């Protein structure tokens, strides 16, 4: 059934009342049941009580906000982040990590049971990592306020910029560069037009992209290039330009220095990238995910594989080393061009790439008329509705579905169950510790 969005009723005024938490939901929120209603409360954990006020409600469920915790659990974890009250980027810091992970796993089981009428088999594997220094890619917002430059993250549920000096989740190499980057921006002629700075701590150099809402001056370009040369960073700039004909704006991204030294490792492959490239931010979890995908594909020398939503080839290239042939498909042209170059770099001649939108009419394209033994899908948060229907018709022997949103995945799973697929195994990957996110991988066979 399609779930249509309805604006939730907002409560204008609410008197505080006390609730007790008995469990956590998929997102790590405390769940309380009082007088026939179910309340979801951020920041509350089992064995705790709190006075809360209603934020919004829908039928017999409501979201509530804590005004005061009246009974603390002895399992509550003290935060080691000085920005917790402002940033909100890691909202599950109060939970022991095993409790947070169990809540996510339990939540996944409940979603699949409710949406697919299916009890999941015993979980195959759970991949976790250290909650510190795991994040190798990030984007900072930049703002000049009262002649003082701020670089940081947006506040919790607000547009406020929270200036930070370092972040416990970021790699040491990113943290050590933050202060120098702030000094660099302060020297730019167009510093007031800098909107964001992106970091990518690759397996080669540190990549930095400065996004400027204007045309970059020659002087600023020289400053940026020199900064990268002196430190061995891969420095790129994204500037806003105007078309000569209609004066419409467009963004031009260019790497100024050390382009060839930015790359990530994907098992036994090297993948060149740029500072703005999408990569899985958790290096250790990505390696575990690649291994799990390869195992789930059950490859042999005759396997023909289709990798949908392939990106730079994070799965495509390692699979190509173990299969007869692979076709990678993605909507982003720049990523597909980079993926083609990466195939050549890794001496792979059994892989090809197609640039197309898998949520639009793609079924009559040449790649879609071929037969495949295995299909890998790693869509965005909205899921892979059209691609899943395509797979259900084609019926490859195996399908590996990776999802960062189990609610969307459950819809896709229903389509596969209808035509006879069974969930052979499933695994979870805690890509972002202490956050509400979780990656899930389902392996289907006929």
Confirm whether residue 330 is marked as ligand binding: yes
For 312-341, give one letter per residue: b (16+ CB within 10 A) or e.
bbbbbbbbbbbbebbbbbbbbeebbebbbe
Question: What's the DSSP call for residue 121?
Answer: P
Confirm whether residue 367 is marked as ligand binding: no
Question: Rounded CA gap, 162 and 167, in Å?
Answer: 12
Active site residue 273: no
Please write down the long-range contacts of 286-292, taking CB distance under 8 Å and 24 or more positions apart.
286/314, 288/127, 288/429, 289/127, 289/402, 289/429, 289/439, 289/441, 290/266, 290/314, 290/315, 290/318, 291/267, 292/125, 292/127, 292/427, 292/429, 292/441
> Closest Cα partner for 228 from 272, 192, 262?
262
List the catalytic residue out of 21, 269, 391, 404: 404
SS3 content of the chain, % helix, strand, coil (to 5): 25, 35, 40
Number of helical (H) and strand (E) elements in the chain, helices listed first: 9, 24
Confirm whether residue 280 is marked as ligand binding: yes
Tokens representing residue 222 in the block: 């020289």
Name 159's Cβ contacts closer than 8 Å, sequence gap at least 6: none
Q: How far is CA 359 from the centre of its chain?
A: 19
Confirm whether residue 378 is marked as ligand binding: yes
Active-site residue list? 404
Annotated binding site: 280, 309, 330, 378
Annotated binding site for S-adenosyl-L-methionine: 280, 309, 330, 378
């Amino acid at each position: 059934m399609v779930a249509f969005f309805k604006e939730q009723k907002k409560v204008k005024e609410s008197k505080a009342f006390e609730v007790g938490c008995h469990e956590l939901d998929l997102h790590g929120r405390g769940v309380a049941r009082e007088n026939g209603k179910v309340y979801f409360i951020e920041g509350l954990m089992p064995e705790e009580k709190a006075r809360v006020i209603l934020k919004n409600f829908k039928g017999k469920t409501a979201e509530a906000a804590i005004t005061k915790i009246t009974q603390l659990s002895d399992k509550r974890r003290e935060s080691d982040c000085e920005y917790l009250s402002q940033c909100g980027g890691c909202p599950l810091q109060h939970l022991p990590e095993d409790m947070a992970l169990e809540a996510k796993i339990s939540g996944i089981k409940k979603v699949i049971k409710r949406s697919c009428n299916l009890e999941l088999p015993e979980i195959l594997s759970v991949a976790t990592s250290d909650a510190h220094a795991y994040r190798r890619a990030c984007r900072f917002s930049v703002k000049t306020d009262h002649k003082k430059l701020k670089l940081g993250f947006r506040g919790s549920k607000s547009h406020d910029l929270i200036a930070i000096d370092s972040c416990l989740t970021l790699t040491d190499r990113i943290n050590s560069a933050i202060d120098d980057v702030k000094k660099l921006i302060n020297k730019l002629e167009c510093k007031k037009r800098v909107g964001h700075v992106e970091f990518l701590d690759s397996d080669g150099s540190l990549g930095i992209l400065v996004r400027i809402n204007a045309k970059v001056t020659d002087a600023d370009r020289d400053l940026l290039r020199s900064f990268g040369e002196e430190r061995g960073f891969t420095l790129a700039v994204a500037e806003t330009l105007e078309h000569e004909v209609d004066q419409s704006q467009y963004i031009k991204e260019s790497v100024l220095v050390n382009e060839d030294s930015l790359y990530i490792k994907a098992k036994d492959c090297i993948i060149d990238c740029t500072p703005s490239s999408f990569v899985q931010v958790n290096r250790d979890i990505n390696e575990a995910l690649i291994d799990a995908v390869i195992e789930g594909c059950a490859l042999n020398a005759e396997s023909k594989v289709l990798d949908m939503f392939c990106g730079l080839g994070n799965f495509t290239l390692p699979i190509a080393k173990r299969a007869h042939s692979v076709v990678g498909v993605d909507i982003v042209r720049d990523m597909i061009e980079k993926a083609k170059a990466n195939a050549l770099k890794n001496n792979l001649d059994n892989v090809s790439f197609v640039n197309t939108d898998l949520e639009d009419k793609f079924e009559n394209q040449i790649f879609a008329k071929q037969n495949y033994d295995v299909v890998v899908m790693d869509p965005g948060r909205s899921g892979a509705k059209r691609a899943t229907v395509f797979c259900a018709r084609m019926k490859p022997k195996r399908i590996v579905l990776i999802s960062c949103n189990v609610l969307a995945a459950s819809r896709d799973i229903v389509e596969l169950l209808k035509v006879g697929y069974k969930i052979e195994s499933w695994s979870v990957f805690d890509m972002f510790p202490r956050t509400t996110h979780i990656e899930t991988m389902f392996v289907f066979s006929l």
